């Protein structure tokens, strides 16, 4: 059974988190994500969870990491300036393999920028923002329904891969209201428990160690330093460091096509739009308005790890057009993976999304 609701995107994110079993939220209010903290403050006491407002975003992500090690499904929400403050602790979460969910309702930057306007300027930051070599998982909703669905998926991916996952939304999707369907229950993928006799960071063929939750009798040492399989620091061992970091990266990158989530329309098209987030809505309107024209569309719901094989679905493609609310962050990634096709970046700043007429004019221009 499902129920239909008319709901704001940020609220749908909260409902998705609660459905997925989120029982800890640590955060600090920041526009345009504040509704998430407000809703969690209202709902957590009623569902047996814990809501805590920390003194800043650095403390917020620290609290989330700590809660995760006690077995909580833990989450925070922020926007650009707060996301920047979280970067050091997010690197710690990668190194310690701590599952958690970070929601970034993006706004115009740099600095405080445009607090009430939409942007997608943090897409490279969520991939490369922490120092060192890392790999992350980033989901991008384009509808209020996907705010619910992808929040659930983010928790499952975080627990499955023992990694922080990012829901990279924006002010447009976060603040719009749409009809959504909320199921009675959702699939919840539990964390893998350590096998008897295995060390804290001893991984099997899937490269993912079992999670030794505090309070369950496991002996675990947790450090952001380079560590051996016991979790003990061993920071001057070159071979150990390389093996550890390669495993942290490869456990994600080797499964990029398994993780991928996308829609592909008109694979025979010569001109193809590639979108994520709000631009997806505009391209769908273009296809609706021009049903007799063969215009391709690849909508990515997960952008990191980047699923480059999806580009090969469009066997006749000559031109990829990439409308996004930044100066071409994902267009650069797409350019890396094409051979012979033209990649046109339609980057946009200022807080407003592309119109259907703008996008269709570009189609006519390259035809």
Which residues in 213-234 are b (16+ Cβ under 10 Å) and which e? beeeeeebebeeebbbeebeee
Rounded CA gap, 208 and 200, in Å?
A: 11
CA 197 vs CA 11, 79, 204, 212: distances in Å? 43, 42, 13, 12
Other beta carbons within 10 Å of 367: 11
Cα dist from 206 to 16, 157, 159, 227, 271, whole Å: 28, 14, 14, 19, 38
What confidence score (pLDDT) does residue 315 get? 96
Reported as a single tens digit per residue, the pLDDT across 303-329 is 999 999 999 999 999 999 999 999 999
**pLDDT at residue 216, as a whole number:** 87
Q: Which helix (H) or strand (E) holds 114?
A: strand 114-118
Q: Residue 145 and residue 135: Cα distance in Å, rounded?
A: 27
Question: What are the structural domains, with CATH classification, of the chain?
Answer: 2-183 (3.40.50.970), 262-366 (3.40.50.920)
* φ/ψ (deg, to 5) at 58: -65, -45
Distance CA 219, CA 138 (A): 31
Q: pLDDT by residue (tens digit) across 47-68?
A: 999 999 999 999 999 999 999 9
Integer angstrom CA distances of residue 282 from 153, 266, 342: 24, 16, 21
Q: What DSSP character marks residue 293? A: S
Predicted pLDDT at 282: 98
CA 289 – CA 87 distance, rounded (Å) = 42
Give me the residues of the chain with pLDDT under 70, please: none
Both tokens assigned to 279: 């631009």
| Main-chain dihedrals φ then ψ at residue 147, nearest 5 degrees | -60, -40
| pLDDT at res. 1 | 78
**Cβ(228)–Cβ(240) below 8 Å:** yes
How high is the pLDDT of residue 210? 96
Contact between 256 and 305 (Cβ < 8 Å): yes
What is the pLDDT, as a whole number, of residue 218? 86
Other CB atoms within a 10 A radius of the CB of residue 250 amount to: 12
306 neighbors 171 (Cβ within 8 angstroms): no
Beta-bridge partners for 100: 164
pLDDT at 223: 97
- pTM of full prediction above 0.85: yes
């Amino acid at each position: 059974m499902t129920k239909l609701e008319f709901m704001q995107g940020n609220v749908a994110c909260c409902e998705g988190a609660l459905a997925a079993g989120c029982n800890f939220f640590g955060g600090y209010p920041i526009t345009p994500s504040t509704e998430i903290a407000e809703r969690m403050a209202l709902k957590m006491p009623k569902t047996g969870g814990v809501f805590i407002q920390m003194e800043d975003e650095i403390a917020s992500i620290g609290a989330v990491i700590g809660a995760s090690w006690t077995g909580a499904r833990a989450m925070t929400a922020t926007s650009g300036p707060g996301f920047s403050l979280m970067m050091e602790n997010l690197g710690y979460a990668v190194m310690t393999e701590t599952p958690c969910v970070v929601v970034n309702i993006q706004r115009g930057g740099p600095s405080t920028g445009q607090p009430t306007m939409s942007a997608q300027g943090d897409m490279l930051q969520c991939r490369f923002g922490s120092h060192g070599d890392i790999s992350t998982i980033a989901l991008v909703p384009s509808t209020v329904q996907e705010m619910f669905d992808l929040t659930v998926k983010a928790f499952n991916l975080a627990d499955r891969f023992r990694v922080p996952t990012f829901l990279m939304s924006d002010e447009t999707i976060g603040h719009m209201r749409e009809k959504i369907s909320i199921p009675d229950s959702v699939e919840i993928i539990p964390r893998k428990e350590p096998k008897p006799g295995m060390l804290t960071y001893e991984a099997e063929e899937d490269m993912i160690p079992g999670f030794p939750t505090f309070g369950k009798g496991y002996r675990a040492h947790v450090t952001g330093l380079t560590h051996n399989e016991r979790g003990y620091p061993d920071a001057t061992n070159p071979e150990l460091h390389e093996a550890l970091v390669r495993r942290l990266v490869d456990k994600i990158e080797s499964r990029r096509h398994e993780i991928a989530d996308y829609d592909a329309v008109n694979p025979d098209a010569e001109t193809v739009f590639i979108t994520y987030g709000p631009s997806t809505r505009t391209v769908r309107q273009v296809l609706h308005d021009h049903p007799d024209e063969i215009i391709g569309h690849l909508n990515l719901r997960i952008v990191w790890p980047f699923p480059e094989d999806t580009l090969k679905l469009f066997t006749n493609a000559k031109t990829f057009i990439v409308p996004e609310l930044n100066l071409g962050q994902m267009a650069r990634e797409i350019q890396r993976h094409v051979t012979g096709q033209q990649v046109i970046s339609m980057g946009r700043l200022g807080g407003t999304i592309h119109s259907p007429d703008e996008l269709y004019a570009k189609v006519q221009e390259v035809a």
